[in-house]
Chains A and B, each alone.
Chain A
Amino acid sequence: MNRIETQRRAALAAAALLLAAAAVACSDALSVERPGQITDGQVGGGGLTDALVAGAEGEFHVAFNWVANSGAAASDEAIFTHGWTPWEEYDRRTLTPASPAWDGIGYPWMQRARVTGVRNAQKLVEGKASGVAVAHALNYAGFSTLLLADYLCEVPLNGGPKLPRAQVYDSAIALFNQALPLAGADAEMTNLANLGIARAYLNKNDLAHAIEYAKKVPAGFEAWVRFQDSNNFDDWVQKYNLFYRTSGFISPSEFSLALDPAEWATKRDLRVPFNTDVQQRMFTSNPYPRLGYIPFVPSSFKGWPVQDTITGGADIRFASGLEARYIIAEASLYGGTGGWSGAQVLAFINERRAVGGFGPYAGADLKGELREQRKMDLFFAGYRVPDLIRYKQFHGIDEWPKGKMGGYPADAPYTYGSTECWPVAQSEINTNPNF
């Protein structure tokens, strides 16, 4: 081999070496910064415990806001007419899988809350967070699951097939049961888990278990969904303050109590106050506007009993010892073992009536009166729809509004539709291979 050939081969070898060196250097040379994003691996690496917990809570707040509003609209607790959101389908109970206000808004938010709670709990475990922190995420995952079970007829979880409601309650109970031992001495998390289990059992009509767990919740326990008042579009995107916009609290003119004014005119329950001087014309774009009263802050909202219009930042009590007592009372009346006697239930009813400004109950329909008191105490806090479902499904009591819709002029053609639970949204149907 002559010198030239040697040189040529040397050059080629050098080139090959250069390329090989470049290939070896590849991994280091291609590392990049992502200062604006936290990656999946980083999130599970510890150090974000509080943020993960807050994330699980925040997503639940968003989802809760939606069901509280949409449930209120469907059960005639309230009327919403915000211009951006087609509330009429909830109001008239004509919801379909593709209804824009369900498919594009409510359903994904509810699923997101559940998925986030579970995912964040896993990330907290990966990050070796404290048991209480994990219990936080699991509890909010559990309550998010309860929302799905409470409002939907059938629910797909984690991209799977539709599950009957009872199985979804079981899924929620499992999450709470995982949370309980982790909560340790943390009373708030323990109470939240017990109440969640009690609510799930009640809605499954497992009355004994409902009573068992409800009894573990102290009467003074309260858990709140928090919101911040703002009229800034950017702000509510940033701060989960979705309640402000989606509920339609742009102005009092976009929110009203739903029942027929003639009926509401007779109600003077202090727990559900309203402005008796003004009746709003709702759905003004229609030829037949609906009439309603402007509500003041109800007893399930922060700020009660101050008689003022509700703001977008009003916190809502979503779980409480009061609810636990209602669970015990209802389960006891319907035969649940280990609960209260009739006298205890009556005493409870009278206690609640007093809060509403009424005297002791003198009638014989304790169950009916208990439903009425529960309706007022838990007004506009997301309870009404699952209550109506439970009453009808397990007790044969159908309190869903029917026939001609109240508040409309006599010649208005509107009657209530048949929606009694929210369908699986079209976006899930389109994307879930099990559908």
Chain B
Amino acid sequence: MGTKTVGSLACAVLALCAAAPPAAGQGRVARVAAQVQHARMPASPAWAAVEGVGQPFGGTVTLALDGVPLEAALLEVARQAQLRLTYSREALPPQLRVSAHATAIRASDAFALVLQGTGLAALSTSPSRVTIVRRAPAPEPAPREPEVAVVSDPPPAPAPPPFPARAAEVRADAATGFAPAVVLAGTIHGTVTEAGSGRPLNGALVAIAGSQRTAVTGAGGEYTLTGVPAGRHLLRASMIGHRTAELTVEVADGAVAAASFQLATAAVQLDRLVVTGTAGATERRAIGNAVTTIDAAEITDRVVNNTVTELLQAKAPGVTILQSSGSPGTASNIRIRGVGSLAASSEPVIYVDGVRVQSNAGGSFRNNWQTPQPGQLAGGGQTASALDAINPDDIESVEVIKGPAASTLYGADAANGVIQIITKKGRPGSQALQWNARLQGGRTDWGLDTRTSFTTCDAARISQPTEWPGCQGVAPGTVLRENFLDGALRTGQLRNLALSVRGGGEGYSFFGALDSDREQGVFPNSEEKRAGARANFAFYPSHTVDFAVNLSYAQTRTAFPSTDNGPNVLEAAWTYQPGRAPQPGQTYGYNGGTPDQYDRYDNSLRGDRVTLGTTLNYRPFPWFRNRLTVGGDISARQANRYVPPGGIFAPTVGQMTQGTPRNNLYTVDYAGTVEGTLPLTSLSSAFSFGAQYNHTEYRNTVAQGTGFPTDLVSNVTSATVRQSWDEFLEVKNLGMFVQEQVGWKDRLFVTGAVRMDNSSIFGDNIDHLFYPKLALSYVLSEEPFLQHVGWLDNLKLRAAWGQAGNAPDPFAKLTTYSLVQVVDPVSGEVVSATRLTTLGNPDVKPERGSELELGLDAGLLGNRLGVEFTWYDKTTHNALMSVPLSPSEAGIAGGAQFRNLGEINNRGVELALTGSPVQTRLLSWDARLGVSTNHNRLVRFGYDQEPIVFGVTTLNQRHVEGYPLAGYWVHDPVLDPATHDYVASEARYLGPSTPTREAALANTFTILGNLRLFTLFDYKGGYYLLNMTDWRRCAAGLCEAVNDPGVSAERRAQLMAGLGANDALYTQRADHAKFRDASLTYTFPRRLSRRFGTDRLAFTLAGHNLGYLWKPDYTGLDPEVTFNGINQPGEDGQAFGWTRMDYWTVPMTRRITASVDVSF
């Protein structure tokens, strides 16, 4: 093939893609072809020389087409020939219908038949792909033969009928003088069900090939397409997790045609589109890295996920949700493929419909013992999550981009992964509105043992009747037991109301939703409420432009009880000894305040959040796609923390602190993609480029009043002492990327990209940073030598290497001073003084995450068994280290400077098995098993640093080179012969403090198509947790172990020793398996639901956190908790954020709900 010829081929393909919609005219087929040539094609003899045109290819095809749109006919031929088709929709004569009848002809002949007279030709560009290209211009196109092409030229309608009455379409082109053509129309109606089980599929997309007419099935699996031009159409039905199916349907004017689909389950969908950061989506087959897609709509249909975090939990291998507390509204840590930073954030960045949103925890005051201070973020206690403002019911799907190998295009702070949340949308096309409503009620309760306390009545206690009335009259050695917590707990109420509507019309679509959620915790001052609204609009003014506006509003209120390491009722109840006299003024045993007193604590956060995103997609040419997203996420909150006067809280005189944190996050994101073929080759090319700009702003003003004579007032103004402070933070990022993806035969793809970033937080000496990426995807199963392997449907091998950044603290680069007050030595007046606050590093830059991942995606046994396997090796280079400076140099106590010195490694595997072992009308069984491992290791500090030892009460965690970050290093109790006390042994390594192994098994059983049972079990293992709650109880002599007569005195003494000496006994293996979710749904048969005027009526009984299947070693209630919530590593520049322990923390509470879902 000569250069000119190849170039011509490229031009031919591109030119075809660029063809404008044709004008209409008399003699339709001929006019269409002529218009195309005139408008888009240079008259060049080269077109006739396109190599390959006319050569036979493909298998045999049988045609029975009557009045079918040309595009549908082409797709039908391709489908029968099992060929992939590349063509430009715009280049096809839009109103041309063809009729063709033939039996067992070659595919090439079939294409030639249906393309006859169009000026187009089918070119085989690979064994599995056909491209429609332009033939040489015909001087005078001849009318098609009646038996081949039917050209309907209906008489013009006297007046356009009201749209969409009878769904007639009127198209006119005054410029060409073409008379308006009226296309008679009908309706298509049908259902989409799952093959085998017969289960109606809710949310399946049914589209007419070659048009924008689409419909989404309702809850009963039904859909309706109105205004469908009369004639034969190719319908295509698709849904996540199922094979796409096609049907040809004949639509008669004014009639309703039936077309129902049965979609077989498909474990692996290589043709599914995923978001990658470029303009437009990319087929999964072309992507060299793992991308996990969570079908959120399906999950929320099965279980009640109150938060986005719950939605993510146990759904994607490699994504670890570290819950902190069972109190509603408390934030969790999200870790993707481990922790890659010692001193910067480890949280992924989150986008909603392309707009970056605030996802970090915070805003609320921590419920710890500390008085809120300016800039104080660290400390025990829980805090709120910004993600909770997003209603899980609004989400269509979630895509998890796991590491630098995949997130390169997202730039300088994406090394921890990217989570793309895609909300529900309407569908364009004339169709009925789909309303969905859910009413749910339920309860939240403790769901676990409330813990019994013990007292051994020894002689000393028996001799003290005033102090130990409960020990009077009993024999020495009698063990008293009592449970003090029950009376402090409540059963919280839960309700959820959700209403949504989905629809669309000619050139537009919309989705709207309202929701109201409320969940009470197990304490009276524990609650989370959310009320929200969402409106997603999309407009399709032409084939080349579409425009979407996504607007959401959420109002939230979260109330946190005083727990964790603040004064709290758990401690009061669990450290009170049976038999002991109540404290003065109390009638029951609490070691501290009473539940009523703790309930007066008010720590709440109210939030108003608006997220607005607008996305413009513009395809000026078929080979050129552009996407521009502009959006903002604006969150205004008010945080209150009221400590009543009276003695059980600090300060004892009472305190009110009020903050008004406000986060604004703006996104401007442009991306473009140019597609074509590479010169001199037949390789496909997709060249992408883009730029992103993010602007984050945080403002907070805090007022604090201390000292109230009474709790009748609780405002700052009434306090005896008042103070205030403010906080401000601003960060701006700008990044640009280019990417080239080269495809060979549509089964081998090589992608290379580079991203350039700059940010306001980079050191002054850092101008730009570059992040490269290289990925390979090979669809091996489409090689001829594997075609005959019957059990193998799909097999894609993939490899990816890439880098991305992880941003340092915004002030890491700056040497800064603050203003404080000092007494002037001469005048004695209070004056302002500068004080050095931070020592910046002008060379500081983001950490560089570098990742290699290898994996495969396979569909087996008729694509009923899917296998996704990934091995990854992620290393953080230039890891930020808080390097202490010598006091004589820095001039700051504990002065430190962030430097890019360290190295941290995470390695692991991820395996997802998806299968449908049973698919019958009687019973269907769908299962998904996810398994992942992560081995984290601090490779090196990069400077002369001894192990960093930290902990609360006991120093039992360390950052040590060669070991996992924040691993436990524990001390065994050793008897000191001199003092006869138990003292600490040398510390020994015990294990990691975060899970290294996780698994989740989800099963869905559908019985007779109407009754569905869903279960989710998950496992976390390979880690430890300090159970300080039990230590406190045992050290106080009231846990069971130290009151067991069978326990030796030596063991008892060990258990009761100081935590610094015996933390090995309380740092316990936290491996566990939980029965996380279960639901039972009964969907009324359609004939019954119709009686109620609904399309679907279903009742669901669901449970969350139903209990432990396995917890062999951990003696506390819940090894998932940690007392300091979502303290970010590095948040305080030190180790506190890494401290993990169970200390008066509310375990994951049980939730039981009943709901009714109605669609109409």
Asked if A and B bind, the verdict is yes
Partner-B contacts on A (CB < 8 A): 2-5, 7-8, 11-12, 15-16, 18-19, 22-23, 25-26, 29-40, 43, 48, 50-52, 54-55, 57-59, 61, 104-105, 107-109, 111-112, 114-116, 119-120, 155-160, 188, 223-228, 232-234, 238-240, 315, 425, 427-428, 430-432
List B contacts of A115 (CB < 8 A).
888-891
A19 touches B736 (CB 8 A): yes
| B1115 interface residue (CB < 8 Å to A) | no
A-B contact pairs, 5 of them (CB 8 A): A5-B11, A11-B620, A31-B760, A54-B822, A55-B817
How far, in whole Å, are A119 and B893 apart by their CA atoms in the complex? 16
Closest 8 CB pairs of A and B: A115-B891, A159-B889, A58-B822, A54-B833, A226-B823, A108-B893, A40-B815, A37-B816
A239 touches B885 (CB 8 A): no
List B contacts of A120 (CB < 8 A).
834
Interface size on B, residues (CB 8 A): 76
A51-B819 contact, Cβ under 8 Å, with A19-B736, A29-B734, A431-B886: yes
Question: From B726, which residue of chain A is reached at the shortest CB distance?
Answer: A36
List B contacts of A11 (CB < 8 A).
620-621, 624, 672, 674
B691 touches A19 (CB 8 A): yes
How far, in whole Å, are A111 and B836 apart by their CA atoms in the complex? 13
List B contacts of A112 (CB < 8 A).
836, 887, 891-893
B835 touches A58 (CB 8 A): yes
A54 touches B832 (CB 8 A): yes
A3 touches B736 (CB 8 A): no
A224-B825 contact, Cβ under 8 Å, with A43-B817, A239-B830: yes
| B963 interface residue (CB < 8 Å to A) | no
List B contacts of A158 (CB < 8 A).
888-889
A157 touches B888 (CB 8 A): yes
B891 touches A37 (CB 8 A): no
The residue from A37, A50, A105, A156 contacting B817, defined by CB atoms under 8 A apart: A37
B1-32: contact bitstring with A at CB < 8 Å (1 yes, 0 no)? 00000000001001100100000000000000
List B contacts of A240 (CB < 8 A).
820-823, 833
Complex interface residues of chain B between 195 and 250 (CB less than 8 A to chain A):
none
| B1021 interface residue (CB < 8 Å to A) | no
A427-B887 contact, Cβ under 8 Å, with A15-B672, A36-B726, A240-B821: yes
How far, in whole Å, are A43 and B623 apart by their CA atoms in the complex? 55
How far, in whole Å, are A207 and B845 apart by their CA atoms in the complex? 54
B728 touches A36 (CB 8 A): yes
B676 touches A8 (CB 8 A): yes
How far, in whole Å, are A85 and B44 apart by their CA atoms in the complex? 93
The residue from A2, A22, A25, A114 contacting B11, defined by CB atoms under 8 A apart: A2
The residue from B814, B815, B820, B828 contacting A239, defined by CB atoms under 8 A apart: B820
How far, in whole Å, are A223 and B825 apart by their CA atoms in the complex? 7
How far, in whole Å, are A59 and B687 apart by their CA atoms in the complex? 60
The residue from A8, A159, A234 contacting B624, defined by CB atoms under 8 A apart: A8
List B contacts of A32 (CB < 8 A).
730-732, 760
A57 touches B822 (CB 8 A): yes
| B57 interface residue (CB < 8 Å to A) | no
Question: From B813, which residue of chain A is reached at the shortest CB distance?
Answer: A39
Question: From B375, which residue of chain A is reached at the shortest CB distance?
Answer: A36
Name the prevailing secondary structure of the A interface residues: helix
B727 touches A36 (CB 8 A): yes
Question: From B758, which residue of chain A is reached at the shortest CB distance?
Answer: A26
Chain A nearest CB: distance from B656 CB in Å? Answer: 15
A54 touches B824 (CB 8 A): yes
List A contacts of B687 (CB < 8 A).
12
| B723 interface residue (CB < 8 Å to A) | yes
How far, in whole Å, are A28 and B11 apart by their CA atoms in the complex? 41
List B contacts of A432 (CB < 8 A).
886, 888-889
How far, in whole Å, are A16 and B691 apart by their CA atoms in the complex? 11
The residue from A23, A40, A156, A232 contacting B814, defined by CB atoms under 8 A apart: A40
The residue from B672, B731, B836 contacting A116, defined by CB atoms under 8 A apart: B836
Question: From B737, which residue of chain A is reached at the shortest CB distance?
Answer: A19
List A contacts of B822 (CB < 8 A).
54-55, 57-58, 61, 226, 239-240
* Residue in B44, B723, B728, B888 whose Cβ sees the most chain A Cβ within 10 Å: B888
List B contacts of A160 (CB < 8 A).
888
The residue from A2, A18, A119, A239 contacting B836, defined by CB atoms under 8 A apart: A119
Question: From A3, which residue of chain B is reached at the shortest CB distance?
Answer: B42
B652-695: contact bitstring with A at CB < 8 Å (1 yes, 0 no)? 00000000000000000010101010000000000101010100
B887 touches A107 (CB 8 A): yes
A239 touches B823 (CB 8 A): yes
List B contacts of A227 (CB < 8 A).
823
| B749 interface residue (CB < 8 Å to A) | no
A159 touches B886 (CB 8 A): yes
B691 touches A40 (CB 8 A): no
B728 touches A33 (CB 8 A): yes
List B contacts of A228 (CB < 8 A).
823, 830
| B713 interface residue (CB < 8 Å to A) | no
List A contacts of B760 (CB < 8 A).
30-32
B831 touches A39 (CB 8 A): no
* Residue in B693, B760, B887 whose Cβ sees the most chain A Cβ within 10 Å: B887
B723 touches A234 (CB 8 A): yes
How far, in whole Å, are A105 and B811 apart by their CA atoms in the complex? 25
List A contacts of B483 (CB < 8 A).
none
B828-844: contact bitstring with A at CB < 8 Å (1 yes, 0 no)? 10111111111010000
How far, in whole Å, are A109 and B886 apart by their CA atoms in the complex? 12
Chain B nearest CB: distance from A51 CB in Å? Answer: 5
Complex interface residues of chain B between 162 and 209 (CB less than 8 A to chain A):
none
List A contacts of B836 (CB < 8 A).
112, 116, 119
Given contacts A33-B728, A159-B888, 8 further A-B contacts (CB under 8 A): A15-B674, A18-B691, A40-B816, A108-B892, A111-B888, A112-B891, A155-B888, A233-B371
How far, in whole Å, are A157 and B888 apart by their CA atoms in the complex? 5
B892 touches A57 (CB 8 A): no
| B946 interface residue (CB < 8 Å to A) | yes
A43-B834 contact, Cβ under 8 Å, with A228-B823, A239-B822, A430-B884: yes
List B contacts of A58 (CB < 8 A).
820, 822, 833, 835
